[in-house]
Structure 1
């Protein structure tokens, strides 16, 4: 994927529950101009869209704007790339919101390609990151939620609506707690940052004098030898390992790339993850599965959105292209 990218510029948008980031990105993955606004996630849909338009306005003020000939969007989901709409769980004002059409208008009619944020991260890692050179890969974002995307036979596989590879809502605990998605015992319920920290608190871990009860604080405590904090990461790693092994068994991936804030814990997460994976990925064709950290960092969403825009029309992003068609 993405070996024949254009040398021009595209507009990239990374839209989540806390921030709306935008950039002009060139064909080598360099961010040339960037902008960012907080997401007014508790406001109405038009207020959220106004923040997106502000970001686009910042980019349009650059002399490079006219050289950009397409827009890529990586959005929190669920997304429906076939219809060009988004319904982010953490942005209540957007339900079946026609984001592709609205961005197309705000971007002076440029064609728009929409993918989910997990798929965007996957595109970034396959283009420029740890999954580069791998034809079959799963990439995960483990943060406030758990998302993901798939590369199969060398091409991004977003699925008909752009949500394929959403590992966070694979059930790994049949009698587990109800999940916000309506299911039960999902990977996200066990491995996301907020749930990981909640479990540590429930089991007796206490934050330090600063009161920080985040997953990062739990990671620091685990690193310092706190057994309760370490056990919370062990449980999160076990859930991720089960989901990764199930995915590998189904579609024969050979690498899993893990990014997001929780992955910033480093070996506090990756050591038990690799150990647990050995107990789940036992068949001969998944036994050599590699798990590595993502390397595209905080720009993964922007770079993945740019990759989606560059790949428009090349056949690599079938579901996303269908979504873009509705707003081009």
Structure 2
């Protein structure tokens, strides 16, 4: 089926590493998709690259709406984004600029929210009405879907699970607080903790190497993953008892560690979730490679229904 014979929305997923765009039908089918590396440059240079990407994806199609998922923080009310990992964009008017390219309704959401929506729509959370989606990567982000609807909060930044404080005597976090989930569970923080304990000291390594060593039985690597898993579990249970949910979907680069991450997360969740209404918490891996993109499309469809 060609992209000009089906009603579609344009989904856009913006991150510090890559930008992706797709035309998506009402049932979540991706009609055409493309992506590029996020360029380094000033505001207009970065947007020019996004504009070229959008042009390639659109072709002759006329989407009925656009949904944008972006790394934050963002100002959803005014359509502005200031992604920490895109230095050229500070209070960048992304909604206005995209609307100038595609003159249809444009919605904007946090990338973590879009990840949760995507997994809720067509991924691992499609059987749940209430779920928490978590992205574990260079940071820890998240999104909530409650009773089938995204929980956004007054500023559009709700469900920042990476900054739930789980250790009152913990390390300083990039957000300015301390003891946040992210200080234990993000890839770089787990690597740094393992290296302080003597793992591959002085080497330039990442979370993928840490995961490989943990899978091979390295005790220091396993201990770092266990610390991260405990922090994640604490954040998960705190969220679960607050909003009464039973399904958690975890994605992001660190989640590719597989059982090295999921086994201790599930064990810690079982230990910490003692109240009856969260005793059956289920933690599963994400199923979609492009959940954020599909979630952005989902919010676009919702905006015009």
Q: What's the secondary structure of 1:256's corresponding residue?
A: strand
Matched with 2:16 is 17
Q: Which runs of 5+ in 1 are unaligned?
A: 1-6, 315-328
Pick the aligned partner of 1:302 from 293, 298, 301. 293
Deviation at 1:212, TM superposition (A): 6.1
Q: What's the secondary structure of 2:155's corresponding residue?
A: coil
Question: In the aligned structure 1, how far is the partner of 2:149 from the partner of 2:229?
Answer: 28
1:1-328, aligned counterparts within 5 Å?
8-41=7-40, 43-60=41-58, 62-63=59-60, 65-66=61-62, 68-107=63-102, 109-206=103-200, 213-297=205-289, 299-314=290-305
Contact kept in structure 2, 1:79 and 1:86, CA below 8 Å: yes
Matched with 1:3 is none
Which sits farther off after the overlay, 45-54 or 140-149?
Answer: 45-54
Q: What's the secondary structure of 2:134's corresponding residue?
A: strand
Q: Which runs of 5+ in 2 are unaligned?
A: 1-5
Deviation at 1:28, TM superposition (A): 2.4
Contact kept in structure 2, 1:207 and 1:217, CA below 8 Å: no
Contact kept in structure 2, 1:168 and 1:187, CA below 8 Å: yes
TM-score, normalised to structure 1's length? 0.88
Question: In the aligned structure 1, how far is the partner of 2:32 from the partner of 2:248?
Answer: 31
Higher relative contact order (Cα pairs below 8 Å, separated by 6+ residues): 1
Q: What's the secondary structure of 1:69's corresponding residue?
A: coil
- Superposed CA RMSD: 1.6
Question: In the aligned structure 2, how far is the partner of 1:189 from the partner of 1:92?
Answer: 22
Question: In the aligned structure 2, how far is the partner of 1:110 from the partner of 1:144?
Answer: 34
Matched positions, count:
300
Deviation at 1:34, TM superposition (A): 1.9
Question: In the aligned structure 2, how far is the partner of 1:54 from the partner of 1:207?
Answer: 43
TM-score, normalised to structure 2's length? 0.94
